[in-house]
């Protein structure tokens, strides 16, 4: 596809990598032009592919040919509809064809292992064990409660009999002894009933447990086989895959990643495919954008229609080589200037700094290169190394509002202690994606984060940590409800889950796709509006408030 004139070149993200030869930082932008092209591709995918599609990353590259024409390339990660190559899409990186037969055989074996794992995870004994365990537990509790009542009655009767002992004549002492002994016999009989119940229970449950244990052991063997098959195939692919950069140099994945194990799927992501293909076709890359489409990713982080940067494990290590030799049509702004944008100081003294955090900016840096931009890193660049800064609390990346930092460790300890003792008063404002009938109330739903489904949180009455939120309806705006939230605890995603869960308000916050909002909007409509605390030195009450931007 050919494009005409230059469009909007505002940058929303930089693909970055260190050149392995010069050590220079190389960068390729994601611009609004590229995002608009990607959104057109989203529409194309939604028209040609059904709902419930397996989620995956897609990408577009805006490039320029040797004659100055604008060209759009598109790519998908891994396989699409079981195929690695589809007309109109960028082909896979050279090398896959060399291991195509081995790949086909391995994928068939992996499919059989997957099916067997599903069957083993769904054996009838699992459900039967769960149901019968609950039934037996309920019956045993009833039995214990009944026996406890009988025990209390016996104790009362014993006390009564013993109290009357001095009044009884000698000939009646034998009858008293017999009565007490009968009470002891009743107690022993009830213990035997419980013992027999447990024996009968174990006769039913132990065979089920054995069947489940055998299935689990077989699953572990199958999972080990699956890892070994995948590792072998990936090693073959890494040796066969050959990447080309814009200097015309070629390297296999194994040559580029010489240390540590390479993750599964390296070389199959959109960004390496697009850049490799552009280099082989003598195209100049101008901008690139990648997005997720289909069901959410297993960890719940990637959501349909959202843009994402280069993945840390599979793409980021290749960026420096792939961008080497690239001829740029414009110079990107210096990192220092880019990093200083979009934050506002709302309070500052010798001990504390408060920031009006914009949405889509991390509170503190992440572990990897593409998550280093944050309020803390920008503050450190802004103030230099004159004094250290310590984050006192966090706001979600998508949430805007007041964020507090300490300028020394004593202040950090003091304010952190106020947070822990729940002496700090926080007020949030949000727009819900529907109409709320209730005027005010208290939500008390414990939250738990499944380690296999991060960062998503869920209500869990057994494993969850106490989570309490006060709310008040401020008004209705069209089909939305403006809400004031006062969190009495500080759990991850607390307000978002308490809003979306049917046991809470049952209405997701507007823009919260992670928790079910389907409305098209530019941001999460959640804002930390007010913060009240005692100053760590003066002990005066500090009340901070900033306007709500929506």
Closest residue by Cα to residue 450 from 441, 460, 442, 461: 460
Place of tokens 């039995």: 143
CA 457/CA 501 separation, integer angstroms: 11
CA 297/CA 22 separation, integer angstroms: 36
Closest residue by Cα to residue 403 from 362, 456, 350: 362
CB contact at 8 A, 457 and 497:
yes
Total length of the chain: 550
Place of tokens 């060209």: 71
Distances (CA, A) of 58 to 242, 270, 409: 21, 6, 45
CA 194/CA 84 separation, integer angstroms: 62
- Which residue(s) pair with 421 in the sheet? none
CB contact at 8 A, 513 and 458:
no
Q: Is 296 helix (H, G, I), strand (E, B) or coil?
A: coil
Active site (annotated) includes residue 268 = no
Q: In sequence order, which ranges of 324-460 are alpha helices (DSSP H)?
A: 335-339, 375-383, 409-420
Exposed / middle / buried, residue 132 (Cβ in 10 Å: 0-12, 13-18, 19+): middle
Distances (CA, A) of 490 to 125, 365, 393, 428: 40, 20, 10, 12
Q: How many of the other CB atoms lie within 10 Å of CB of 305? A: 14
CA 4/CA 379 separation, integer angstroms: 40
Residues 6+ apart with CB under 8 A from 214: none
Phi, psi of 31 (to 5 degrees): -105, 170
Q: Which helix (H) or strand (E) holds 33?
A: helix 32-48
- Which residue(s) pair with 391 in the sheet? 405
| Pairing verdict, β 526-534 and 400-406 | parallel
CA 364/CA 350 separation, integer angstroms: 21
Q: DSSP labels for 57-87?
A: EEEEEEEE-TTS-EEEEEEESS-BTTBS--T
Q: How many of the other CB atoms lie within 10 Å of CB of 93? A: 23
CB contact at 8 A, 234 and 264:
yes
Q: Considering 33, 268, 373, 396, which one is annotated as catalytic?
A: 396
Q: Is 379 helix (H, G, I), strand (E, B) or coil?
A: helix
Q: How many of the other CB atoms lie within 10 Å of CB of 126? A: 16
Catalytic residues: 396
């Amino acid at each position: 596809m050919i494009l005409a004139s230059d469009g909007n070149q505002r940058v929303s993200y930089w693909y970055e990598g260190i050149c392995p030869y010069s050590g220079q930082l190389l960068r390729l932008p994601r611009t609004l032009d590229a995002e608009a092209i990607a959104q057109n591709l989203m529409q194309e995918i939604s028209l040609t592919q059904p709902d419930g599609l397996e989620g995956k990353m897609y990408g577009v590259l805006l490039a320029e040919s040797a004659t100055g024409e604008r060209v759009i390339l598109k790519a998908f990660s891994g396989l699409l509809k079981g195929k690695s190559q589809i007309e109109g899409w960028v082909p896979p990186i050279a090398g896959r064809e060399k291991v195509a037969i081995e790949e086909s055989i391995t994928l068939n074996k992996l499919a059989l292992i997957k099916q067997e794992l599903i069957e083993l995870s769904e054996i009838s004994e699992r459900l039967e064990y769960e149901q019968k365990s609950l039934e037996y537990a309920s019956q045993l509790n009833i039995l214990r409660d009944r026996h406890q009542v009988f025990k209390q009655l016996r104790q009362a009767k014993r006390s009564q009999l013993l109290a009357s002992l001095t009044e009884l004549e000698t000939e009646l002492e034998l009858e008293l002894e017999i009565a007490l002994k009968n009470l002891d016999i009743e107690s022993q009989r009830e213990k035997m009933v419980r013992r027999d119940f447990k024996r009968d229970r174990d006769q039913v449950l132990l065979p089920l447990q054995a069947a489940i244990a055998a299935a689990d052991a077989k699953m572990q063997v199958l999972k080990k086989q699956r890892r070994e098959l995948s590792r072998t195939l990936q090693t073959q692919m890494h040796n066969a895959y050959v990447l080309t950069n814009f200097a015309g140099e070629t390297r296999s994945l194994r040559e580029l990643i010489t240390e540590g194990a390479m993750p599964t799927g390296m070389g199959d992501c959109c960004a390496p495919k697009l850049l490799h293909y552009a280099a082989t076709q003598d195209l100049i890359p101008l901008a690139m954008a990648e997005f997720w489409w289909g069901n959410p990713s297993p960890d719940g982080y990637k959501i349909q229609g959202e843009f994402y940067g280069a993945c840390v494990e599979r793409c980021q290590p290749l960026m420096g080589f792939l961008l080497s030799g690239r001829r740029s049509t414009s110079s990107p702004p210096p990192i220092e200037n880019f990093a200083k944008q979009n934050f506002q100081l709302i309070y500052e003294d010798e001990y504390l700094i408060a920031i009006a955090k914009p949405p889509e900016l991390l509170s503190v840096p992440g572990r990897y290169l593409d998550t280093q931009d944050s309020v803390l890193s920008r503050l450190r660049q802004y103030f230099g190394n004159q004094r250290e800064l310590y984050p006192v609390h966090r706001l979600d990346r998508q949430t805007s509002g007041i964020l507090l930092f300490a300028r020394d460790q004593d202040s950090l300890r003091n304010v952190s202690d106020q947070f822990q003792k729940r002496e700090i008063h926080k007020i949030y404002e949000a727009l819900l994606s529907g109409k709320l009938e209730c005027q005010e109330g208290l939500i008390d739903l414990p939250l738990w984060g499944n380690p296999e489904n991060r960062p998503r949180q869920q209500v869990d009455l057994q494993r969850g940590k106490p989570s309490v939120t006060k709310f008040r309806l401020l008004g209705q705006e069209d089909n939305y409800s403006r809400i004031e939230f006062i969190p009495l605890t500080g759990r991850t995603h607390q307000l978002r889950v308490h809003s979306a869960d049917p046991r809470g308000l049952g209405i997701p916050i507007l823009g919260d796709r992670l928790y079910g909002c389907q409305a098209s909007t530019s941001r999460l409509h959640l804002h930390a509006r007010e913060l009240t605390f005692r100053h760590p030195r003066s002990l005066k009450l500090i009340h901070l408030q900033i306007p709500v931007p929506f």
